[in-house]
Homo-oligomer: A and B are copies of this chain.
Amino acid sequence: MNYIPKSVEKWGVFEISCSGRTDGNPFTDYNIRGHFTNGAESVETDGFYDGDGIYKVRFMPSFEGEYQFSVTGTFSEEPIRGSFMVTPPSPDNHGPVRSANQFHFSYEDGSPYYPLGTTCYVWELQNDERIAETLDMLKESGFNKLRFCLFPKHYNYNLGEPRSYPYEGTPMNSSVLTEENWSDYTENAPGNHWDFTRFHPAHFQHIERCIAALGEIGVEADLIVMHPYDRWGFSCMTPEQDELYWKYVVARFAAYRNVWWSLANEYDLLRHKSLADWERYAKILCQKDPYHHLRSIHNCGPHYDHTRPWITHCSIQRQDLYKTAELTDEWRIRYQKPVVLDEIAYEGNLPFGWGNITGEEMIRRFWEAAMRGGYPGHGETYLTPERILWWSHGGKLKGESWKRIAFLSRILYQTPGIGLAPAKGNWDDVCAVPEDALRAAQTGYRIYYYSFMRPCFREFYFDDTAKYQVEVIDTWNMTIENQGVFQGKFQINLPGRQFMAIRLQKAAMEAS
């Protein structure tokens, strides 16, 4: 039984399902490849075994109109050929996110995309009720990117069994674990029995449903393919096992337009992996992902060399207890790529310094990064009696910072052109202007952010003739107050509170 859809929308998932051989180990003994073309675009892509005798090949078309396809491989005796129609994208489908204007992003259809993400490491491995809660919460919030892991996670406050495992086999008995002893059971702890040549398709099918569900609410899925918080041995497989895993992951997920590849969370904590391993994974990704989704790798201590050509954007964890978002402009200069801050401490009350800042401090870091032309990331780690932490499980947000994300997002989307750039302001403010120098000059658009400082007024002088529309922004209370139009030297009063900003842009010209 083969299943071949008649049509798919542009940037949708076109999926061919076919029956195939089940003797031996279908995950390793047979292959399946698809070829898709409309004349202009021609894609060769690996398929995968999905269990129960079903093989699948997926394709994400980038053009509308008729495509031809063929599916070949040792999985079956005869190839499958045919054609299908690609229809226009539905209104909320803007295609995959690409890096744009050097330091920024946009959707493939050219509409702007300003990533303001959050982290729920294993939200998708919780029960259905919690997953639904997380999706509802994401919808209510302003987040448009979510970082999460494909492998289950073993870490403080997250010792339970995941809903499923990626491999056939049985895990160690987790009933021995306590919040005191869990760190004695790391990497391949005794008691695991896995067949690393046989995936558990249900695990991946579920993750695909989660990726699709995120896509439906406009959230990019920043997939953490490897990570060190392990008790099952998934962080210390052999190179052959790793390769099988990477290829399976890419074959399954690459056709989802909202996928980003994060090679690792805290790559430097995976002590069995070397730089050569990461470069090898990157090579697999570059070869096997026909759509060139965004690729990054996230650090704990030292940064990865983000100048590596396969890296599309920096994914950076804080480097200093006190300063991180404030270094965004330095990292832009160093790496010459978009700077995404995928961990600048989390709002919460954990005993650890990475998880106990205030909502105010979180939002301050967001603005510090955003006004320097970078993209800050959120997380929340409130330890309550229920022990459901957003950062790990998803669920409900309890803090104060998430409520202010949509407000910042709205302001970012008002930027003329694509993206903000840090500009020379005064020594005691952060000045942002449009990245596009021509647009910056034409519009005079600029935002001054005052962080924890509390000026009761600020003075401005650009020239004698230009008229500026001025707004006072309260980034915490989420208000924008129009101050009117000013010219020459002028003073703007402020309320003497923290977290204020002033936005200026040239007033609309009168008709000549």
Residues of A whose CB lies within 8 Å of any CB of B are 321-323, 326, 348-354, 356-358, 361, 383, 426-429, 451-459, 496, 498
Q: A321-B428, A322-B326, A323-B322 are in contact. Are A455 and B349 (CB under 8 A)?
A: yes
Contacts of A322 in B (CB 8 A): 322-323, 326
Contacts of A321 in B (CB 8 A): 326, 427-428, 451
Residue among A348, A356, A358, A459 with the most chain B CB within 10 A? A356
Sample (23) of A-B pairs whose CB atoms are under 8 Å apart: A321-B427, A321-B428, A321-B451, A322-B323, A348-B454, A349-B496, A350-B456, A351-B455, A351-B457, A351-B458, A352-B455, A353-B427, A353-B453, A353-B455, A354-B428, A356-B453, A356-B496, A357-B452, A357-B453, A358-B452, A358-B498, A361-B452, A383-B456
Contacts of A351 in B (CB 8 A): 455-459
Contacts of A353 in B (CB 8 A): 426-429, 453, 455
CA distance A453 to B390 in the complex (A): 18
Contacts of A352 in B (CB 8 A): 428, 455
Interface majority SS (helix, strand, loop, mixed), chain A: loop
CA distance A322 to B353 in the complex (A): 18
Contacts of A361 in B (CB 8 A): 452
CA distance A456 to B352 in the complex (A): 9
How far does the Cβ of A490 sit from chain B's closest Cβ, in whole Å? 12
Contacts of A323 in B (CB 8 A): 322-323
CA distance A356 to B450 in the complex (A): 10
Contacts of A356 in B (CB 8 A): 453-456, 496
Specify the chain B residue showing the minimal Cβ separation from A426.
B353
CA distance A452 to B360 in the complex (A): 11
Specify the chain B residue showing the minimal Cβ separation from A455.
B351
Specify the chain B residue showing the minimal Cβ separation from A430.
B321
How far does the Cβ of A474 sit from chain B's closest Cβ, in whole Å? 15
How far does the Cβ of A137 sit from chain B's closest Cβ, in whole Å? 22
CA distance A378 to B455 in the complex (A): 18
